[in-house]
Amino acid sequence: MANILVIDDDPAIQLVLRRTLAKQGHTVALADNGYEGLKQAQQSRPALIICDWMMPLMDGLEVCQRVKADPELSTTFFILLTSKRSLSDRVEGLDSGADDFLAKPIELAELQARVRAALRLQQLTQDLQFQKQRLEAELSEASDYVQSLLPAPMKQPVTIDSCFIPSRQLGGDCYDYTWISPNHLVVFLLDMSGHGLGAALPSVSILNLLRSRSLNGVDFHQPQQVLSALNKIFQMGDQGDKYFTLWYGIYNLADRNLRYASAGHPPAILLNHNGADSQLQRLKTPGFPIGMFPDAEFICHSQHIEPGSQLYIFSDGVYELHQGNGEIWGLAQFETLLKGLHSRKQNQIATVLERLRLHNGSPTFQDDISLIQLNL
């Protein structure tokens, strides 16, 4: 049976409610006013509160508002006990957070029925909250696992820094950078469609596949071969309608040449100094996301990298930021931000993230933030 708190300044009503509810097997606590009722509620966390509307010191509406504002009590079912019967009064009570009403004078059969219904709904609400907390915990564990797979910063011979900030709903971002030969650095970033474990798990699978270089007959020094091979084995019709975007590059340390290919992914941004100004280039090749079309073709471009250049590779969550006015901060604005920071030599990745948080209209990002910064 349930713990029930009765808040009423009328001893006769307290007596009737306590006897009736106790006969049903419930544990009943009593409070004479709103302040005492709130104190007891915070201590005992009852499943149900029956509270009189009209009381001195603090009326039932204020008690209800405070109960519903408390995260520990928000799922407590709240019944207002009242002799008020007008529609406007009921609307006011519901707007204050009340879940149900019980009219005075109290009909015992109605009281018992409303209590049974209230406890059923409260149990359902509690079960839903438990499942929500469990899901959030699983997403947090998955996020920690994804982060544990991502590479650490690199200092020599190329300086690389990166960050991964998972959204409230875990997405499908993964990336890596590593030397596959003494002079060849591979760097890639992929973004799986969707959110949650359904996006994170295949993303990790692709990450491990690329790390192990397990694609038969593929020269991993040739970006277009890598994309084509992935597209053949990962078709959305066989993967629960999942697809992913990918930017894949190979940097040759000896001749400072970067070969790259992309599959529906945002362009990488290359910045270098042109006199006093910063010059910006988008590095992207045409191509559909991996998994959309089995006959899709991918091409490779190359770019000579001047000393002192910076290369940014990122997911679309970096620039698709929802503003307070309903608009979306876009790629052009992100490029302007990078160019300005580069010109002022304030282009550390921590500074970039700080500016992104300022432009984001919410304390949390709606999509994963993945960003790689290479100083070449």
CATH of the domain at 224: 3.60.40.10
171 vs 197: CA distance, rounded Å: 8
In this prediction, residues 162-190 reach a mean pLDDT of: 89
Element (DSSP H or E) covering residue 261: strand 257-263
Res 21 pLDDT > 70: yes
99 vs 96: CA distance, rounded Å: 9
Res 371 pLDDT > 70: yes
Evaluate whether residue 322 is within a structural domain. yes
Res 276 pLDDT > 70: no
Element (DSSP H or E) covering residue 80: strand 77-82
Write the Ramachandran bin of 213: left for phi over 0, alpha for psi from -120 to 50, otherwise beta.
left
- Most confident range (mean pLDDT) of 321-325, 330-334, 353-357 is 330-334
Does residue 220 sit in the same domain as residue 369?
yes
300 vs 258: CA distance, rounded Å: 10
Residue pair 375/157 in contact (Cβ under 8 Å)? The answer is: no
pLDDT value at residue 143: 76
Evaluate whether residue 31 is within a structural domain. yes
Residue 283 or residue 95, greater confidence: 283
Q: Specify the range with the lowest mean pLDDT, choosing from 12-21, 245-254, 272-281.
A: 272-281
Does residue 71 sit in the same domain as residue 168?
no
HSE at residue 68, side-chain half, CA atoms within 13 A, is 16
pLDDT value at residue 310: 93
In this prediction, residues 9-30 reach a mean pLDDT of: 92
pLDDT value at residue 33: 92
Res 362 pLDDT > 80: no
As a whole-number percent, the residues of the chain with pLDDT over 90 amount to 57
Q: What is the dihedral of CA 145, 206, 371, 137, to 10 degrees?
A: -30
The boundaries of the domain holding residue 364 are: 150-375
Number of structural domains the chain divides into? 2
Does residue 173 sit in the same domain as residue 71?
no
Does residue 17 sit in the same domain as residue 74?
yes
pLDDT value at residue 188: 97
Does residue 130 sit in the same domain as residue 157?
no
In this prediction, residues 28-45 reach a mean pLDDT of: 93
